[in-house]
Structure 1
Amino acid sequence: MYRMFATVALVFAATQAQAKVDAAQAERLGRDLTPLGAEQAANADGSIPAWTGGVTPPPGYQPGMHHPDPYAQDRELYRVDVSNLAQYQHQLPAGLADLLTRHADYHLRVFPSRRSVSNPQRIYRATRENATRAELIANGNGIRGAAAGIPFPIPQEGMEVIWNHILHYKGENTHFINNQAVVINGNSNLIKRDRAIYYVYNREGMTTAELDNTLLYYKYVVTAPAKLAGTALVIQDPLDQVLTTRRAWRYSPDSRRVRRLPLLAYDSVQPDTSDLATADVVDSFNGAPDRYDWTLVGKQEMLVPYNSYAVHQKGISYDQIVLPRTLNPELLRYELHRVWIVEAALRTGYSHPYAARRFYIDEDSWQILAVDLRDKDGELIGLQESHPINYYDVPMFGSTLETLYHLQDNNYFVDGLDNNEPMYDFDANLTPRDFSPQALRRSGN
C-alpha cells in the first residue's frame, strides 16, 4: 500500500499562506531535508533510499559524450502491465494507468530507486537564502526575494511548488540539436531543431536586484525537413508574465520576414506540432500560472520515469524509440519516488483544452515527471511524461525526452530526441543579443 504524506492544502488558505519560512525551518536544509528541500531519509521499507549527494560521472566519461548510464548494471525488479495493473494502480498517475489499459503490449520496467539528483553548491547556497526571503507576488504570478536557487524549498501551497519547477536549475548557456516527433494514426514525422537557451534566473552571481523580471531567452532554427528548414523562433521570457507579456518572434524563409507573434502562451498551439501541443506544455508546464487555481494535495510514493539513460544513449535510431502508439517501453525506466502532487483547476472565465491538471513533481529536483490532463467534463484525455536524467557534468537534473499522449485518439507528441546528434553544449558562448528579432533573421538564413 502507498503512503500519503502530510496533506497540507486544506490547512493553508490562500490569504494566510506565508512563503517565507523562519531561520529554524531553513536550518533543516542540509540536515533532515536535502539542500533543495526533499526528505533526506529513506522511506519506511527502504525501497526509496536516502539521498547521499546524487550521482557522479562514471569512469571514462568526458563532457560532450552522450551520458553513459551509471546504473546500467541494475536489474529490473518487476514489470507493470494490464495483467497486474490492479496491484500497482495506486502508485500510477491516472493517465499512465489508462495508457496501460489501452495498449496491452505496453508495460513499465521498474528498477531500483536511485536518488541521482545533484546541483552545484552555489544552487544549494542560494536555495538556503531564498527559503527565508522568497514570496509570491501579484496573486502568485511572480516572485520576489529569490534568485538562482529553488525559491520555496519548504513549500506551503501549490503555486509555490509550480514555481519551484519553473525555476529549478537547468544550466546557464545551453546549445543543443534535437528532434521532435508528431505521431498521428501511427505515422511519425520528425522535425530537427538547432536550439539555444540563455538562462537569467539561475546564473552564477545573479541577485534579485539584477533579475529585472527576466527568466530566460530561447531560440530555435529548424534544420529539417527541407520544407521547413530556416524557420526560426525567438522568445524573451519574463518571470511575471502577467506584468510583462512573453515576447515571441518567428522568421519565415518563404517571406524572409520576421513577425511578432501575438501570443505564444497558455493554450495557443506550438508551431509545427500539428495541434498536438499547446505552448504551456513545454517542460511539462511553463508560463504564467494565473489562469488556474492551484491546490497542494501532499506527497506520495509513485512509479515515475527516472534515470532515463537507456533511451538517451548515442546511436539509437529514432524509429526504435518512437513506435506507432507509444514510446518503446523496453527503452524506458521507472522507479518508485516521493513526489509532490499539485492539482490545477481552470478559473472561471478562461478556456483551455486542459480544464484540470494533476502534476507529479519530483521531491529531489522539482522537475515535473508526469501530468494527468482532463477536459471541462472531467474526462481524462491526456498524459504528459518527462523522462529525466542527471546531466552530471553540469550538474543538473532535467528531461531528456518529453511526451504528450492524446489518450482518446492514440496520437502523441515527443520532444527531445537527440541520440544521433551532438550532445548538449552547456558552455555555449551566448549573450542576450543572440535572442533579438534582428538575430533571428540572421539565424534563419
Structure 2
Amino acid sequence: MNRKTMIKGTFLVLSLLASSVMAAVSQQDADKLGTSLTPLGAQKEANSDGSIPAWTGGLPTNAGAVDANGFLADPFAGEKPLFVITASNAGQYRDKLTDGQMALFKRYPDSYRIPVYPSHRTATVPAQVQAAARDSALQVQSINDGNGLAGFKQGSYYAFPIPSNGVEVVWNHFTRYMGDSYRRAFIQATPQVDGSYTPVRFEEQQVYPSRVSDLPAEDAGALLYYYKQRVISPARLAGTVALVHETLDQVKEPRRAWVYNAGQRRVRRAPQLAYDGPGTASDGQRTADNLDMYNGAPDRYDWKLIGKKELYIPYNSYRMESPSLKYDDIIKAGHLNPDHTRYELHRVWEVVATLKPGARHVYATRHMYLDEDTWQIAEVDHYDRQGQLWRVAEGHALYRYDNQTSYLAAETLYDLISGRYMVVGLRNEEPKNTQYGLTAKAYDFTPAALRTDGMR
C-alpha cells in the first residue's frame, strides 16, 4: 500500500508540475513569424478598408536626419490631421476609443482633443532580435501560474510572440526590445490643476545581463535587467538613487530593490518599489508599477485576454520629442497640449487585469491595450475598488529608426477625480537624447555603488 501511495503521489506531483508549465508553440506556428505574421507576431495585412496599412518592414534606418544630440527628424512632419475628435463628435468614433479617452472628453470638454493622422506601421527590430523572438516562441514557457519564465535566457526577447492568454501578452511588454541597454535623462512633472509645475529631473539606466562583462553567476538566468534611477533636481530631492534587479520570477524571488537617501546618506532595501508603492517624487500621482505604463510582478491579478480591436492610440510621436519644443509648450492645465500630440488607428491587443481575491492593490481593475507591432502598452484604464474609473494612462510612442527600437516620447497618467496628472519621460530640453548600446560592470549595479551615484 505504501508503494502504491508513493506511485500515486509521484503521478500527482508530475501532473501538478505539468499544469504549472504552459507549453511553447509548435514549429508550425513558429514558422508563421516573418511569413504570414510579422517577425514579432502581428498581422501583416491591412485592415478591411486600408485605414491600417499592411506591414512592409518598418522605416529604414535612414528615414530621417539625426542631430548631434540624438534627436530625430520627424518623417511625417508635413502631414496634417485627417480629422480631430473632440467632446462634441466623440460619440461618432466611440467604437475606436477607450473608456478612458471618452472620460477625458467628459472631464475636459473644451480642451482635450485627439488629432487623428494617417496610420504608418513604422516599427521593426534588428535581425538578431527577430531571430530571438522566434526562438522564444519555440523555447519559452510560463511557470508558476504565469508569474515566471522558463527557457528565457540572455539575449532573449518577446517571450510569447504568439500568445495564448492575457499574462503572456503582458510578458511581451516586459520583454520587448528596448535598444539592448540604454541611458537617458528626462523630467517628470505633476502639474497642479492650474497647470503650474516643478520639473523633477532624472537620469536612468537599464542594462541587460548580456551587456554586463562580469555578470555574477547567481544572476545569470535569474534576471531580466538591471535598472538604476537618480534624481538630479530639484535640490531638495537631488541625490536620491533607486536600484532594481528585475527578476524573471518575482514570486519565487521578489524584485530586489534598494534606495540611497541623500539626506540620510544611507542605503536601504526598498520593497516599496513595487506594486502600489508610491512612485518616486510623483506627489502621489502614480504607483511604482505605473512606470513604463505597467511593470513588475503580475501575480496579484487574473489576466483575461479579450482579443484584438482597432483603436486610435498615440503613435509616431516625433513632434512630442522635438528639441524645438520647451516643456512649457507641452505641459498644460489638465492634460498635455494636443497641438503636439499625434494619434493613429492601429490594431491592439486588449487585456483586462482583475485583482485576485485577497490580493492588495489600489487598482482593482486595469484595462490594457497593447500595440500589435511593438507589444508596447499604449493605453490603460485604471479602476478603483468601487469600480470607478480613476486614472487613464496614455503612452506617446515613437520608433527610433536609427537604433531600430520603439519607446515613449512621454507617458501620462490622468487622475479623473482630482483633475491632476503626471507626465514622465519628456526630454526636449535635455542636452542628449536616449543613448543605446551600453556596457557595464556588475559593481555599477550593486547597493555598494549607490552612495557614489548619489554624491556625483
Same fold at TM > 0.5? yes
Deviation at 1:379, TM superposition (A): 1.1
1:29-76, Cα deviation, whole Å (9 max, x unpaired):
111100000000111110000111111233433574211111112221
Deviation at 1:212, TM superposition (A): 1.9
Residue 95 of structure 1 aligns with an amino acid whose one-letter code is: G
Deviation at 1:146, TM superposition (A): 2.9
Q: Is 1:95 the counterpart of 2:100 in the alignment?
A: yes
Residue 46 of structure 1 aligns with an amino acid whose one-letter code is: G
Matches for 1:36-435 after TM superposition, within 5 Å: 36-56=40-60, 57-61=62-66, 64-104=69-109, 105-147=111-153, 148-186=156-194, 187-200=196-209, 211-421=220-430, 422-435=432-445
Larger Rg: 2
Contact 2:229-2:241 at 8 Å conserved across structures: yes
Deviation at 1:286, TM superposition (A): 0.8
Contact 1:167-1:201 at 8 Å conserved across structures: no
Distance 1:172 1:432 in 2: 16
1:370-400, Cα deviation, whole Å (9 max, x unpaired):
0011112211111011111111122111112
Q: Is 1:27 the counterpart of 2:31 in the alignment?
A: yes
Distance 1:293 1:266 in 2: 15
Residue 38 of structure 2 aligns with an amino acid whose one-letter code is: T
User: What secondary structure is seen at the aligned counterpart in 2 of 1:162?
Assistant: helix
1:71-91, Cα deviation, whole Å (9 max, x unpaired):
112221000010101101111
Contact 1:137-1:144 at 8 Å conserved across structures: yes
Deviates more, 1:350-359 or 1:427-436: 427-436
Deviates more, 1:384-393 or 1:330-339: 384-393
Residue 137 of structure 1 aligns with an amino acid whose one-letter code is: I
Deviation at 1:295, TM superposition (A): 0.3
CA RMSD of aligned residues (A): 2.0
Deviation at 1:136, TM superposition (A): 0.6
Deviation at 1:203, TM superposition (A): 9.1
Deviation at 1:15, TM superposition (A): 5.9
Deviation at 1:97, TM superposition (A): 0.9
Distance 1:76 1:97 in 2: 20
Deviation at 1:130, TM superposition (A): 1.4
Contact 2:20-2:144 at 8 Å conserved across structures: no
1:438 is matched with: 448
Distance 1:156 1:396 in 2: 25
Structure 1: gaps (5+ residues): 1-13
User: What secondary structure is seen at the aligned counterpart in 2 of 1:83?
Assistant: coil
Residue 225 of structure 1 aligns with an amino acid whose one-letter code is: P
1:278-311, Cα deviation, whole Å (9 max, x unpaired):
1111111111100000000000011101111111
Contact 1:63-1:393 at 8 Å conserved across structures: no
Distance 1:235 1:20 in 2: 29
Deviates more, 1:140-149 or 1:58-67: 58-67
User: What secondary structure is seen at the aligned counterpart in 1 of 2:139?
Assistant: coil
Distance 1:146 1:444 in 2: 33
Contact 1:234-1:437 at 8 Å conserved across structures: yes
Residue 144 of structure 1 aligns with an amino acid whose one-letter code is: A
Residue 115 of structure 1 aligns with an amino acid whose one-letter code is: R
The size of the alignment, in residue pairs, is: 429
Deviation at 1:427, TM superposition (A): 2.9
Residue 35 of structure 1 aligns with an amino acid whose one-letter code is: P
Residue 308 of structure 1 aligns with an amino acid whose one-letter code is: S
Deviation at 1:172, TM superposition (A): 2.3
